[in-house]
Amino acid sequence: MPEIVVLPHAELCPEGKTFEAAKGESICDNLLDHGVEIEHACEKSCACTTCHVIVREGFDSLSPSSEDEDDLLDRAWGLTPVSRLSCQAKVGDSNLV
């Protein structure tokens, strides 16, 4: 089973966290299920960018992004080549950081 490693973040997860992820579920759902209260203002409907995450490792194992997700990501603060909306990115076989 893949793992998700959440790096320390002052507001979201000050100590960081590592947990086993449910393959095929979104990063957002996995985070919420393990007590990481990531914002998701649109209720995970791919209509905002509040759940934007940067995937430093394991990016290529995620489900492909949709055109709608790509369009929204263009407006996300701090966009990087390995940015995803956590509500849309489904966990694959690899560990994620």
Span 43-93, pLDDT tens digits: 999 999 999 999 999 999 999 999 999 999 999 999 999 999 999 999 999
pTM: 0.95
Say whether 21 sits in a helix, a strand or coil.
Answer: coil
Residue ranges of domains in the chain, CATH in brackets: 3-85 (3.10.20.30)
Dihedral angle, C-alpha 35, 36, 42, 43, nearest 10 °: -20
Residue 73 is inside which H or E element, if any? Answer: helix 67-73
Q: Which residue has the tokens 């929204």?
A: 72
